[in-house]
Chain A
Amino acid sequence: MAERVLMKGNEAIAEAAIRAGCRHYFGYPITPQTEIAAYMAKKMPKIGGVFLQAESEVASINMVYGAAAAGMRVMTSSSSPGISLKAEGLSYIAGSDVPALVVNVQRGGPGLGGIQPSQSDYFQATKGGGHGDYRMIVLAPASVQEMASLTIKGFNLADKYLMTAMILADGTIGQMMEPISFEDAQIETYEKPWALTGTNGERKHNIVNSLYLKPDELEVKNFERYERYKTVEEKEAMWEEYMMEDAEYCVVAFGIASRVAKNAVVAARAEGIKVGLIRPITLWPFPTKPLAAAAEKVKSFISVELNMGQMIEDIRLATGCKKPVSLCNRCGGMIPSPDEVLAAIRKAQKGE
């Protein structure tokens, strides 16, 4: 058996980032993700890396932009209100086609909200957040092991497709400890022709910018970018299916909500209700394929979320509104109990 260590989800992200070759971390503290910065502050100086607590979230995302433009594997992390502050930088990074990893360990919102776990930044992560036409790869870990493996995956994908990968976690997965192993970590490296390696008097200056004043040029840039996004959509969707073979009802949930939902699915099966679970691991690209397939055979979907039902729109799009989607949710930092989800499954079975 692989060697297992107990780690907090936030620490797992930081350790995985270091193993993935990240040597530049810029951040600003906010609960419930501060352990990431604390871990980086302790480790980075020992391995010749940079840990910098910036004067604000805006400064830290622009430092990420700068390091990415220099060709470094770079990251920042924050929680909901802090990510809103970073939105401008996210858009600039997208407009400059440089890779970065951004972690959002979500807390309840809107506004300053609270500090308890939430999934209410789904729209912000998957539909934009910053201005302009752009996408981010959004990865939703449901365990401490995935906090690590998806961080590594995120760096790989960001470099491969020249875009931002976001880890969309929540306070629970950030704060909890579970055993993890780094044995299967697959770290990929990609050529970065724009990296600052010295011109040697030969290479031309490389300018990284998101400013295109000629509309035809800006249009071409956007078209090119969306060609890349298309490839991501075709190739990179990830999901887990659980007890879906004979399912008549399908629970859809990601992150911590999927863990609670799994308990409820097991309990419902014990009552003879044929229910399964589809857990999106990438929220963008959204796993449309398994949902479209499920829509052909299940009677209805139940979306379990820690928000007011933001993912329902994507479920409806993926399934062409073929089957009804009901919502089982808590928000503001509250988490549904397995019993609440079980009740929602029973209701779906009764067609309510």
Chain B
Amino acid sequence: MKTTQILIAGFGGQGVLFAGKFLAYKGLTENLQVSWLPSYGPEMRGGTANCSVILSEDPVGSPIVTAPDVLIAMNLPSLQKYVDTVVPGGKIIVDSTLIDAKVERTDVEAFYLPATQLAKDAGFATLANMVLVGKLMKECSAVPFAGNRQTLESFIPAKKANLIDINCQALQTGYDF
């Protein structure tokens, strides 16, 4: 009976929803029960966005993640808003290029990686989201790292297939950090 509740939060335009979508499809490939719930509203590029993903061996109850096992914070307001909701023993993955602050809680594990900088240096500046997801996959065993390409191929439309390679690289960058 294993359930992982994931919350990804940041600015609109950072790929918060896509990152969640990837994890949801990854769960689907692994035959898990999954749910993906975006925040929706009058949000736009630059506004706030978040997304709840649940990966479980059992049917998913509420799809709304109010107490995440893992939080990916892609900006400071998101970290401040959700840091206290993470369950004790949970994990917080912080994009340290964009967030100066440290997690003050001692009952959670925090991982800092300059995802935005790493993505920029590697030539895929828009994929900090996937760098962070790569790190999540390293630190949390909800889904295996193998088979990422197949998962991406399963939902990225053919006309954008050229983006699959760099998404794989971004995941690897985060995983190896």
Assuming the A-B contacts A6-B24, A262-B62, are A116 and B41 also in contact, with contact meaning beta carbons closer than 8 angstroms in the complex?
A: yes
The number of chain A residues with a CB under 8 A from chain B is 24
Q: Which of A110-131 contact B (CB under 8 A)?
A: 115-116
- The minimal Cβ–Cβ distance linking B11 to chain A, given in whole angstroms, is 19
Residue from the set B38, B61, B62 with the largest chain A CB neighbour count within 10 Å = B62
User: Is A195's beta carbon under 8 Å from chain B?
Assistant: no
Q: Tell me whether A177 and B24 are in contact (CB under 8 A).
A: yes
A32 CA to B60 CA, complexed, in Å: 22
Assuming the A-B contacts A259-B63, A263-B61, A338-B62, are A6 and B36 also in contact, with contact meaning beta carbons closer than 8 angstroms in the complex?
A: yes
- The minimal Cβ–Cβ distance linking A140 to chain B, given in whole angstroms, is 16
User: Is A326's beta carbon under 8 Å from chain B?
Assistant: no
Q: Tell me whether A260 and B34 are in contact (CB under 8 A).
A: no
A4 CA to B35 CA, complexed, in Å: 13
- The minimal Cβ–Cβ distance linking A184 to chain B, given in whole angstroms, is 16
User: Is B64's beta carbon under 8 Å from chain A?
Assistant: yes
By a CB distance below 8 angstroms, the chain A residues around B28 are 4, 6, 179
Question: Per-position contact with B for A136-175: 1 when CB-CB < 8 Å, else 0?
Answer: 0000000000000000000000000000000000011001
Question: Per-position contact with B for A179-214: 1 when CB-CB < 8 Å, else 0?
Answer: 100000000000000000000000000000000000
Chain B residue nearest in CB terms to A175? B40
Instruction: Out of B35, B61, B62, B64, name the residue touching A177 (CB < 8 Å).
Output: B35
Residue from the set B31, B33, B63 with the largest chain A CB neighbour count within 10 Å = B63
A175 CA to B62 CA, complexed, in Å: 14
User: Is A321's beta carbon under 8 Å from chain B?
Assistant: no
Assuming the A-B contacts A1-B31, A260-B62, are A177 and B36 also in contact, with contact meaning beta carbons closer than 8 angstroms in the complex?
A: yes
A50 CA to B40 CA, complexed, in Å: 29
Q: Tell me whether B62 and A259 are in contact (CB under 8 A).
A: yes
Q: Tell me whether B31 and A172 are in contact (CB under 8 A).
A: no
User: Is A293's beta carbon under 8 Å from chain B?
Assistant: no
- The minimal Cβ–Cβ distance linking B156 to chain A, given in whole angstroms, is 13
By a CB distance below 8 angstroms, the chain A residues around B38 are 175-176
User: Is A70's beta carbon under 8 Å from chain B?
Assistant: no
Q: Tell me whether B40 and A115 are in contact (CB under 8 A).
A: yes
Q: Tell me whether B42 and A115 are in contact (CB under 8 A).
A: yes
Interface size range of chain B in the complex: 20 to 34
Instruction: Out of A6, A115, A171, A256, name the residue touching B25 (CB < 8 Å).
Output: A6
User: Is A310's beta carbon under 8 Å from chain B?
Assistant: no
- The minimal Cβ–Cβ distance linking B84 to chain A, given in whole angstroms, is 14
Q: Which of B71-101 contact A (CB under 8 A)?
A: none
By a CB distance below 8 angstroms, the chain A residues around B21 are 177
Q: Which of B49-77 contact A (CB under 8 A)?
A: 60-64, 66
By a CB distance below 8 angstroms, the chain B residues around A259 are 60-63
Q: Which of A217-238 contact B (CB under 8 A)?
A: none
A223 CA to B34 CA, complexed, in Å: 48
User: Is B18's beta carbon under 8 Å from chain A?
Assistant: no
Chain A residue nearest in CB terms to B38? A175
By a CB distance below 8 angstroms, the chain A residues around B66 are 337-339
User: Is B177's beta carbon under 8 Å from chain A?
Assistant: no
Q: Tell me whether B35 and A262 are in contact (CB under 8 A).
A: no
A175 CA to B36 CA, complexed, in Å: 9
- The minimal Cβ–Cβ distance linking B1 to chain A, given in whole angstroms, is 11
- The minimal Cβ–Cβ distance linking A214 to chain B, given in whole angstroms, is 51
User: Is A63's beta carbon under 8 Å from chain B?
Assistant: no
Q: Tell me whether A176 and B37 are in contact (CB under 8 A).
A: yes
By a CB distance below 8 angstroms, the chain B residues around A338 are 61-62, 66
Chain B residue nearest in CB terms to A341? B62
Instruction: Out of B31, B40, B60, name the residue touching A31 (CB < 8 Å).
Output: B40
By a CB distance below 8 angstroms, the chain B residues around A263 are 61-62
A-B contact pairs, 9 of them (CB 8 A): A6-B36, A32-B40, A172-B64, A177-B34, A178-B35, A263-B61, A335-B64, A338-B62, A339-B66
Q: A6-B25, A6-B36, A259-B63 known; 4 other A-B pairs, CB under 8 Å? A: A4-B28, A172-B63, A175-B38, A263-B62
Binding site for B on A (CB under 8 A): 1, 4, 6, 31-32, 115-116, 171-172, 175-179, 256, 259-260, 262-263, 266, 335, 337-339
Lowest 9 A-B CB distances belong to which pairs? A263-B61, A177-B36, A176-B37, A260-B62, A262-B61, A259-B62, A337-B66, A263-B62, A176-B63
